[in-house]
């Protein structure tokens, strides 16, 4: 008998789960997620999942810990309901920045989360543009690392000017920015920055390596959180003579002062994807949201059919 493909979603981003199910031409799985009066999460599956290939879609958007607990409970429920194979689909992998001990006596929380997902029953994990590629090694089960690059490249190919310069906001993202510049046949630059010792959301942009004067620049990053890095880079690019600055990222976290910073910055366009929901209070004139539902659906179909995921991206989905 052929296994069934079933897609379920938690409360973090049901619109994305619905879009993925539509692209796979399957109905979204029926379940009930609620909370007791003291805040405890309660979950019940309404569909028969015995012997099925189950994909649970849940990005770790705010409140991060609430949505992580939902994911763990859902995975445990599907495991106990005898799903044949269980895949945690986490478009934005929270705690990904805590992938090493940067200072003494710190946890490696990205590894801890991987252990929790595995212990809860996940047989594999699917994510998009992990903050650090080595997070894949934190899992003892398969990880399919996707990239939003095809969606972002399509947008740039349609809207970007001919004199575009692709800019990496720091040295760590040069490899990704270089891939964009090669596809677009454009020039490449990067910003030299530093983060004051002991700070978490303060960034100083010091200089630009590359020719940006009189050019239009697009900054490529994996996420925009408080927007400190992106805005500091945009201000420096304008100081160096850039005629226009765009910001482009896979994950629009947009926490804390991010929206106000972007509104008041010299950046004229902010392009993100829908790996995370964008509530009304975070929507503003400069922002544009692209859908990655088709990319995720294609990857899940490949997992279900036991075919290659990397072929979807031409092998460019690895960090």
Distance between CA atoms of residues 109 and 101, nearest Å: 9
Pick from 152, 127, 145, 306: nearest CA to 219: 152
Q: Which helix (H) or strand (E) holds 29?
A: none
Instruction: Decide: 132 and 96 in contact? Cβ < 8 Å.
Output: yes
Parallel/antiparallel/unpaired status of strands 164-168 and 287-290: unpaired
Q: Dihedral (C-alpha) 4, 10, 12, 18: value to the nearest 10 degrees?
A: 40
Write phi, then psi, for 212 (nearest 5 degrees).
Answer: -120, -10
Q: Any catalytic annotation for residue 193?
A: yes
State the maximum Cα–Cα separation within the chain, in Å, rounded to a whole number: 64
Q: What is the rounded distance in angstroms from the CA atom of residue 47 to the CA atom of residue 29?
A: 7
DSSP 211-233: --TTSEEEEEEEEESSSHHHHHH
Helices 64-80 + 109-119 axis angle, to 10: 30
Query: Which of 79, 193, 200, 282 does the annotation list as catalytic?
Result: 193
Task: Work out the angle at residue 223's Cα, subtended by the Cα atoms of residues 152 and 266, and round it to the nearest 5 degrees.
Answer: 80
Q: Which active-site residues does the annotation give?
A: 193
């Amino acid at each position: 008998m052929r296994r069934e493909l079933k897609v379920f979603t938690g409360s973090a981003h049901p619109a994305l789960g619905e879009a993925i199910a539509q692209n796979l031409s399957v109905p979204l799985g029926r379940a009930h997620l609620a909370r007791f009066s003291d805040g405890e999460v309660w979950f019940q599956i309404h569909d028969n999942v015995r012997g099925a290939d189950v994909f649970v879609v849940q990005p770790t958007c705010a409140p991060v810990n609430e949505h992580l607990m939902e994911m763990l409970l859902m995975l445990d429920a599907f495991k106990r309901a005898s799903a044949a194979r269980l895949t945690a689909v986490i478009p934005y992998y929270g705690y990904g920045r805590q992938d090493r001990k940067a200072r003494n006596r710190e946890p490696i929380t990205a590894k801890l989360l991987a252990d929790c997902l595995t212990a809860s029953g996940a047989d594999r994990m699917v994510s998009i543009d992990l903050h650090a590629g080595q997070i894949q090694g934190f899992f003892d089960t398969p990880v399919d690392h996707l990239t939003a690059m095809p969606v972002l490249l399509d947008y740039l190919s349609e809207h970007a000017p001919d004199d575009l310069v692709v800019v990496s906001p720091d040295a760590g993202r040069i490899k990704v920015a270089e891939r964009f510049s090669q596809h677009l046949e454009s020039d490449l630059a990067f910003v030299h920055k530093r983060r004051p010792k002991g700070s978490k959301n303060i960034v100083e942009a010091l200089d630009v390596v590359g020719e940006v004067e009189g050019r239009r620049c697009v900054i490529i990053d994996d996420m925009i959180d408080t927007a400190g890095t992106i805005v500091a880079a945009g201000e420096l690019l304008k100081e160096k003579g850039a005629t226009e600055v765009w910001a482009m990222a896979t994950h629009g976290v947009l926490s804390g002062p991010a929206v106000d910073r972007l509104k008041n910055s010299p950046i004229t366009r902010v392009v993100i994807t829908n790996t995370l929901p964008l509530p009304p209070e975070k929507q503003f004139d400069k922002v544009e949201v692209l859908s990655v539902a088709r990319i995720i659906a294609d990857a899940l179909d490949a997992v279900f059919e036991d075919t290659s995921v990397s072929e979807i991206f031409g092998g460019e989905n690895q960090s």
